[in-house]
Amino acid sequence: MSGSPQPSAAELARYLEQRGELSKPWMLMQLRLVKLKEAKDTLDPEDYMRRLLEAHADLMRLGEFWNGREREVFGGEYTPPTLIEPLPGSADDR
């Protein structure tokens, strides 16, 4: 990464890709926020605020994602779930 205090969206994406972390929702959220910050000056203020509020709402929905996964997310210890959920929209979906 460059010497700037915060990496660009492209640098962050490359870094996450190299580490195999592009599938982690919290990392994708970080990338989304960096991209939004970079685009701020080119967006209409109302559009920027709308996108920021959408990102915040999506982040809040991740709240349930964290439950029971703290050791994996913050400690790097993965434990597969005991219950395999069906794919959304599949015949077995509730």
Measured distance CA(89)–CA(68) in Å, rounded: 24
Domain boundaries, the chain: 9-75
Nearest to 32 by CA among 46, 12, 60, 18: 12
Helix (H, G, I), strand (E, B) or coil at 83: coil
**Kindly report the CA angle at 50 between 46 and 55, in degrees rounded to 5?**
150
Q: Residue 39: its pLDDT value, please? A: 96
- For the stretch 69-94, pLDDT in tens is 777 666 767 666 676 777 667 777 65
- For the stretch 24-61, pLDDT in tens is 888 898 899 999 999 999 999 999 999 999 998 888 88
Between 16 and 91, where is the model more confident? Answer: 16
